[in-house]
Amino acid sequence: MTDPKEIDESTPSVSEQTPAPKKNSLLKQAIPWLITIGCFAFLYTRVAGPASAQDMSVIAYLGSVFASVNWWLWLGLMIPYSLFFFFLDSLIVWRVINWFNAKVSYTDILPVRASTYILSIINEQLGKGAMALYLNRREGVPGWKLGSSMLFIMVCELIYLCAWANIGLALQWETLPEVFRLLPWVGMTIVAVFSVAFLYFRGMILPNFNLRDKDILFSFREAKLGQYALILVLRSPALLAAVFVYSEALSLFGIEYSYLQMLGILPVIFFGASIPGPFRAVAVSLWVILFPEYPAEMSAFGLVQHNFFILFNAVIGLFFVKRAQKELFEE
């Protein structure tokens, strides 16, 4: 019989063989849900008062708002906008991939990009995975290289939203909430950080600091100033179209808001929509915060605008499923 003391100390113990629970991973998954629960609790408290004044439940009160909307007109606004966004969004992804990953045609990118809209409803990472699979199978592009391109697009998105928010503020300085006057400071901070980062990635400053050499930052090492500018120009028509669509859609909920006022707030709302969480709860809450006198109308408006937009994109993806399947899985 073997003496326990003679057992090789290098043999892993049971605790060592069993992977420890990934606490960080669980926390990461829980945070978006906690944010969403907090946002919906806030929305409930804002709607409950007016609902009670009308002797109605919150659900019934919101239902009365939904019943008052002309949904055919609303669909007439949202469907063309969703299609326009899809083609423009695909154009940007195609442009960036051709810069930093591989030479592929726009028509080949369309079905794969459309499929990512479907998969992203389930999980954002699945959507990115579909694009990575396509580029790896067709062009041998490693996943980290696509990840770098997606990160580049995200940074451009932040810059463009901040730029348009400041333009909107300048045009509507007196009518927008006072808190928006912090935007120029945010903009100057982003410009300063971007300037330093751009010089760093071009090797002009801190030459011995090797962070720039990480694979995920490949796109930033390669990117030229004109490429950043082009993405901002290409993305801008989508925002301007959204300003028109959201202003007109808001009027269907009984609230009039000028295009210039919408230009001032929509970039901030879209930034909120980018915060992870089901139902785009942060963006919905921002609508209610910005329009405190219309809590039920803005809750309903925010829910349908942001969530049906995601569903519309998924429906677009369904039309490309067969082609996407061919691009992703057939040799």
Residues 288-316 pLDDT 10s: 999 988 999 999 999 899 888 888 888 88
State residue 330's pLDDT score. 61
Q: Give the chain's mean pLDDT.
A: 84
Q: What are the angstrom distances between the C-alpha of 254 and each of 68, 74, 175, 195, 269? A: 9, 13, 19, 44, 20
Query: For residues 212 and 200, is the Cβ–Cβ distance under 8 A?
Result: yes
* Residue 95 pLDDT level (bands cut at 50, 70, 90): very high
pLDDT value for 245: 96
- Split at pLDDT 50, 70, 90, the class of 138 is confident
Separation of alpha carbons 115 and 26, rounded Å: 27
Contact between residue 328 and residue 114 where contact means Cβ atoms under 8 Å apart? no
Binned at pLDDT 50, 70 and 90, residue 126 comes out as low
Name which of 47-56, 70-79, 156-165, 197-206 the model is least confident about. Answer: 47-56
> Do the beta carbons of residue 152 and residue 96 sit within 8 Å?
yes
More confident residue, 305 or 16: 305
Q: Give the confidence band of 240 by pLDDT, cuts at 50, 70, 90.
A: very high
Burial code of 294-306, b = ≥16 C-beta within 10 A, e = fewer?
bbbbbbbbbbbbb
Instruction: Report d(CA 96, CA 11) in Å as an integer.
Output: 49
Contact 266, 286 (CB under 8 A): no
> How is residue 85 written in tokens?
């966004």
Evaluate if residue 13 carries a pLDDT over 60: no
For residue 122, pLDDT over 50 is answered with yes
State pTM to two decimals. 0.84
Which region among 212-216, 217-221, 228-232, 243-247 has the lowest average model confidence (pLDDT)? 212-216
Asked whether the predicted pLDDT for residue 243 surpasses 60, the reply is yes
Q: What is the CA radius of gyration of the chain?
A: 24
Q: What is the mean pLDDT of residues 74-93?
A: 94
- When comparing pLDDT for 206 and 120, which is higher? 206
**Is residue 27 predicted with pLDDT exceeding 90?**
no
Burial of 3 (0-12, 13-18, 19+ CB in 10 A): exposed
d(CA 31, CA 318) in angstroms, rounded, equals: 30
∠ Cα 53 54 58 (to 5°): 90
Number of Cβ within a 10 Å radius of residue 5: 6
Residue 53 has pLDDT above 90, yes or no: no
Q: Are 111 and 324 in contact (CB under 8 A)?
A: yes
Lowest mean pLDDT among 15-24, 37-46, 47-56, 284-293: 15-24
The Cα–Cα gap between 171 and 165 comes to 10
Give the residue with greater pLDDT, 168 vs 143: 168
